[in-house]
Amino acid sequence: MAAYEQFKSMSMEGHTEQGAPAMKSGCESCKWHSYAERKSNSLISKLWRWHTKWCPGWTAYQKELAKCGEESRDF
């Protein structure tokens, strides 16, 4: 039940660290994204990966990473 409570408390809004370039897509600071990376075998992680297949925000995030010369993070 603890994972469900964390899921409910997650917000799509996030804050970038000071000095970090702000990305328009918001995926870098997304709490769902962060949780999915930390707990890769969780149900939330699997749902998050599924949603990246069709999410326009994730596509924009990948393009932003490519522009910055950073490695793409496909899951």
Domain-embedded: residue 24: no
Domain-embedded: residue 2: no
Is pLDDT larger for residue 36 or for residue 18?
Answer: 36
Residues in the chain: 75
Q: Provide the pLDDT for residue 57.
A: 87
Kindly tell me if the per-residue pLDDT of 67 is higher than 60. Answer: yes
Domain-embedded: residue 54: yes
Whole domain around residue 50: which residue ranges? 44-69
CA dihedral 47, 43, 20, 23 (to 10 degrees): 10
Number of domains in the chain: 1
Domain-embedded: residue 58: yes
Domain-embedded: residue 9: no
pLDDT (tens digit, 9 = 90+) per residue, 44-61?
999 999 999 998 888 888
Kindly tell me if the per-residue pLDDT of 4 is higher than 70. Answer: no
Kindly tell me if the per-residue pLDDT of 71 is higher than 70. Answer: no
> pLDDT above 90 covers what percent of the chain?
23
